[in-house]
Amino acid sequence: MKGGPEVVLRLAGISKRFGPLLANDDISLTLRAGEVLALLGENGAGKTTLMNILFGHYVADEGTIEAFGRPLPPGSPRAALEAGIGMVHQHFTLADNLSVLDNIAVGTESLWRWRSDRGAARRRLLDLSQRFGLEVRPDAPVGELSVGERQRAEILKALYRDARILILDEPTAVLTPQESAGLFETLRKLTADGLAVVFISHKMNEVFAASDTVAVLRAGKLVATHATASTDRAKLAELMVGRSVKPPAPAPLSPGEPVLELAGVTVASGHGRPLLDRVDLTVHRHQVVGIAGVSGNGQTALAELVSGLIRPDSGRLSLKGSVVEHGDPADMVRRGVARIPEDRHSAGLVGAMAVWENLIAERYHDSSFSRFGVLRRGAARAYAREVIEEFDVRCPGPDARTQLLSGGNMQKLILGRTLAHGPDLILASQPTRGLDIGAVSYVHSRLLDARAAGAGVLLISEDLDEILALADCVTVAYHGRLTPLLPHDRVSVSQLGLLMAGHWDVLRDILPETQLEHGDAA
C-alpha cells in the first residue's frame, strides 16, 4: 500500500507498562483514509490499552501519535476529539433519561449560550443519519432504545463531533448477526466518505466481514499486520494464540433421563411483558441445550430461575423429577445444580476475599469446612489447593485476593467451585464471555467432560458459534418466549439470526412437522 490515500493516523513505538505487566510493547501502526483496520487479539493482548492511549485516557510510557500529520498531545481526550478521533466504547456512554438528540448535542454547546439551537442540531443529526444509513429516532429517550439503536446513536455522536477517525471497541458483542451486518454496511459508507475506522475485536468472522487490514496483537506485541484478503482464519487464530487451536468436538451421546424440566413457566416483570412467558424446556443428562438470543429476551430471568434467585410466578420447575417448590440458591446447590453466573465479577465472586474463601462459598456449612460455626480454615485451604491444582487456576495460592486474578482464572475458579462435586445439571450463563481463546477452549472441554460424565448442560450464550459448536439442541429466546428445541445440525446461523430478531416463521422451514402456536410469529 505504498502511496495510496493519505495517512491519517500514525502510532510510532508505543509502549505502556502497568507495574510488572508490559501492556503495549513498541507498537507501530498506520491508518489511511478510507481504511477499516481490525485490531485482533485475545483479552489482555493490549488492544483496549492501545486505543485508550490513542484516545488520551492513558499516557504512553514511550512512543508518539500523529493524527493528520500533527502530533497528538498525550493524555487528553479533548485533544483527541478536536483532532477528529471519536471512540465508541464497549459500554455505552449515553444518558438513559435524555433523548437521542440531547445525548448527541450535550457537551458540544457552550454553557454560556442563552439558548441551545436545537433546530440546527436536529437538522445536522438527521442529515448524518441519512447519509450513513444510521437510522435513529431523535426524540426517543435512550432508555427505550434497543442495543443496536444505542450503538447507532453512539456512532452518530462521534460523527456529530466531526470525527474522521472512528474507534469501535468490540462493537458486535451485543448485536444480532443481522444488526452486525447492518453495522458493517454503515462502516462501508463511512469509509467511502473518507473516514478511517479502527475496530477492536476478538472474533474472527467479523474481521473477514468488515476489515481491509488486520493487525494482530499478542501479549502486548504487534505480531502481524496483513491485508485481510491475503490471510485466513486458521492463520489469524494461530497468530492470536501463538499455537494452533482445535475446535471443540462433542462426542455423540444419546440423552439420558431428564434433569431439568420447565413446564409453562412465567416470570412477571412487574410492568408490561413478562420476563419469561409460558416457557417449556427439558434438559436431559448427556445433553447440552443452548439458549441463543439477543440479550434482554429472558435469558437473565431463566438463569436466575435455575440459579434459585427468583421463583416462577406460574408454572413448574423440576429437577431430577421432583418439583422445586421454594427454590433458593442454597437449595439449588444441594440439588446438584452447578451454576456459572453471567457476571463472574459482580455475581460470581467476592473480589475482596481470598481464593479459598470464594471456593467454599457455596458449601461452607459442610462439616468438612466448618464445625459448630467455626471455620476449618486449614481444611478449606487444603481443599482450595486441590481445586487450584485440578482446575489449573493460575494464582499465587489459596490466600491470594480474588480480584487480582485474570478473567480466565476467575472463571476457572468458578468452574472449580461448582464442577468439583459431580453436578447433575450445569447452568452456564455466558461462560466464555470476555475470555481468551485458551481459556475458552478450557471451559468448553470442562463442560463437555461434565456432559460425558452424565450432567445436563443448559448453555446460555450470545455467541452463536459457541452454541453451534457445543449444543446438541438449540432454542432461541425472544421476548420471554422460547422456540421449540431445534437439533443443532438442522439449523443455520442465518436462521438463528432471524429467530433472534423475532421472525419465528422460519421455524416452518426448520421443523415442518411442528404446529406454531398462535401469536408466536412476529
Partner 1 sequence: MRLEPRTDTPLALRLLAPVGAVVAALALCALLVAWTGAPVLRAYGLLFEGAVGSRFALTETLTRATPLILTGLAAAVAFRAKLWNIGAEGQLYMGALAAVVVGGGMLDLAAWALIPVVMIAGMAAGGVTLLGPAMLKVRFGVDEVVTTLLLNFVVLLLVSLLLEGALKDPMGMGWPQSAPVAEAAELPKLVARTRLHAGLAIALGLSVLLWLIDTRTIWGYENRAVGANPRAAAFAGMPVTRVMLRTALLSGGLAGLAGAAEVCGLKGYLTLDLSPGFGYSGIVVAMLAQLHPIGVVGAALFIAGIFVGADAMSRAMPVPNYIADVLVATSLLCMLVAGLLARYRLRRG
Per CB under 8 A, 379 contacts partner 1: no
Per CB under 8 A, 120 contacts partner 1: no
Per CB under 8 A, 346 contacts partner 1: yes
Per CB under 8 A, 347 contacts partner 1: yes
Query: What is the footprint of partner 1 within residues 2-41 (CB under 8 A)?
Result: 18-19
Find the shortest distance in angstroms from Cβ 346 to partner 1.
6
> What's the rounded Cα separation, in Å, for the pair 83 and 329?
52
> What's the rounded Cα separation, in Å, for the pair 142 and 122?
16
Q: Which is nearer to partner 1, 4 or 13 (CB)?
A: 13
Per CB under 8 A, 370 contacts partner 1: yes
* Total residues at interface with partner 1 (CB under 8 A): 35
Per CB under 8 A, 394 contacts partner 1: no
Query: What is the footprint of partner 1 within residues 45-104 (CB under 8 A)?
Result: 59, 61
Per CB under 8 A, 353 contacts partner 1: yes
Per CB under 8 A, 407 contacts partner 1: no
Residue 183: φ, ψ to 5°: -65, -45
Check residue 354 and report its DSSP letter: B
Per CB under 8 A, 378 contacts partner 1: no
Per CB under 8 A, 433 contacts partner 1: no
Find the shortest distance in angstroms from Cβ 357 to partner 1.
7
> What's the rounded Cα separation, in Å, for the pair 466 and 179?
19
Q: Which is nearer to partner 1, 15 or 146 (CB)?
A: 15
Q: Which is nearer to partner 1, 49 or 475 (CB)?
A: 49
Find the shortest distance in angstroms from Cβ 425 to partner 1.
16
Among residues 69, 352, 513, 518, the one that binds partner 1 under rule CB under 8 A:
352
Per CB under 8 A, 348 contacts partner 1: yes
Per CB under 8 A, 147 contacts partner 1: no
370 residue type, one letter = S
Place of cell 501463538: 242
Per CB under 8 A, 361 contacts partner 1: yes
User: In Å, how far from its chain's centre is CA 122?
Assistant: 33
Q: Which cell is 196 given?
A: 478511517
Q: Which is nearer to partner 1, 19 or 119 (CB)?
A: 19
User: Is residue 410 within 8 Å of residue 441, measured between CB atoms?
Assistant: no
Q: Which is nearer to partner 1, 340 or 468 (CB)?
A: 340
> What's the rounded Cα separation, in Å, for the pair 183 and 522?
23
Pick the closest to residue 60 from 71, 49, 68 (CA basis).
49
- CA angle, corner 217, sides to 246 and 164, nearest 5? 125
Q: What is the largest CA-CA distance in the chain?
A: 77
| 461-481 burial code (b ≥16 CB/10 A, e <16) | bbbbebbbbbbbbbbbbbbbb
Give the range of 160-168, 186-194, 358-366, 445-453 binding partner 1 by CB under 8 A.
Answer: 358-366
> What's the rounded Cα separation, in Å, for the pair 237 and 135?
34
Place of cell 487456576: 393
Pick the closest to residue 452 from 259, 254, 318, 289 (CA basis).
254
User: Is residue 63 within 8 Å of residue 10, measured between CB atoms?
Assistant: no
Check residue 3 and report its DSSP letter: S
Among residues 63, 73, 258, 329, the one that binds partner 1 under rule CB under 8 A:
329
Per CB under 8 A, 405 contacts partner 1: no
* Binding letters toward partner 1, positions 276-315, x by CB under 8 A: -------------------------------xxx------
State the residues that interact with partner 1 by CB under 8 A.
18-19, 59, 61, 307-309, 328-333, 339, 341, 346-353, 357, 361-362, 364-365, 370, 373-375, 377, 401, 404
